[in-house]
Amino acid sequence: MRIISYNVNGIRAATRKGLIDWLQTNPADILCLQETKARQEDVDCTPFHAMGYQDFWFSAEKKGYSGVAVFTKIKPDHVELGNGHGQSDQEGRVIQLDFGDIRLINAYFPSGTSGDERQQYKYQWLNECYNWLEKLKKKHPQLILCGDYNIAHQEIDIHDPKGNKNSSGFQPAERAWMTKLFESGWTDTFRKINLEPHHYSWWSQRFPSVRLQNKGWRIDYINVTSALEKKIKEAYLLPTVKHSDHCPVYLALK
């Protein structure tokens, strides 16, 4: 099972930048997209279908905002939209698919960069998500949680930890939430394999030189529960793939 998680920052914009051509190289069996900024009926999915992908969407009520989608060549046994939390579901942040005994969760975590109100909602969302995942693990021990977490966990995951110590996405409480997640039985699949610094998945668009200089953050993850840890085969980032301000994250399971 080859999985890619990718915040495309607008699926229509990413398509104009060559997303379809890249997918024709067959990089994955399952493609989990965040921040689609579109509804299913707004996008011509014919090219995806021609490559053998089925598509499942959960879009925000607000047009052109947030949203997640999964394109998969493996037929899911079950698809579930949302996670039952009102505002999260209104913003189209979670979609779940079952493949045999494995449940795949594609999530777009809130960002707190636009102000205190959204930062407070981010903390609310994180708390709701953690409690929901704890319950879900009892029913589905083999979980994959992929997406844009909007959190850089450790200093190794951000180019300027000192300068960003108070920035949304690297605040102590956010980082502590990630630590709590991993201590509760989750594995950071990328760090399981790669312990080297300077690997990032997002670069600010405000300064074009930032990506060239690799001054980024690793805020996109594919994490698995301990029941799947031994099945990790490959895990890496694809920073040279450029249809977005993020890059794809890759995981292969045995």
What would the mean pLDDT of 226-235 be, rounded to a whole number?
98
Domain that holds residue 202: 2-253
Please check whether residue 69 is in contact with residue 55, taking contact to mean a CB–CB distance below 8 angstroms.
yes
CATH number of the structural domain spanning residue 68? 3.60.10.10
Residue 246 scores a pLDDT above 90:
yes
The reported pLDDT for the residue numbered 114 is: 87
pTM: 0.97
Q: State pLDDT tens for residues 139-185.
A: 999 999 999 999 999 999 999 999 999 999 999 999 999 999 999 99
The residues, ordered by sequence, that sit 6+ positions from 93 with a Cβ below 8 Å of its Cβ are 58, 66, 68, 82, 83, 107, 108, 109, 110, 125
Residue 191 scores a pLDDT above 90:
yes
Please check whether residue 66 is in contact with residue 89, taking contact to mean a CB–CB distance below 8 angstroms.
no
Q: State pLDDT tens for residues 197-222.
A: 999 999 998 888 999 999 999 999 99
Which positions are catalytic?
148
Q: In the predicted model, what is the mean pLDDT of the chain?
A: 97
Q: Quick one: pLDDT band at residue 85, thresholds 50, 70, 90?
A: very high
The reported pLDDT for the residue numbered 206 is: 87
The tokens describing 105, both together, are 């969760």
Q: State pLDDT tens for residues 23-67.
A: 999 999 999 999 999 999 999 999 999 999 999 999 999 999 999
Query: What DSSP element (H or E) covers 147?
Result: strand 142-148
Q: CB atoms < 10 A from the CB of 208, how many?
A: 10
Q: What is the DSSP letter of 213?
A: T
Residue 68 scores a pLDDT above 90:
yes
Q: What is the count of structural domains for the chain?
A: 1
Residue 251 scores a pLDDT above 90:
yes
What 3-state DSSP class applies to 26? Answer: coil
The reported pLDDT for the residue numbered 208 is: 80
Please check whether residue 112 is in contact with residue 168, taking contact to mean a CB–CB distance below 8 angstroms.
yes
Query: What DSSP element (H or E) covers 118?
Result: helix 116-139
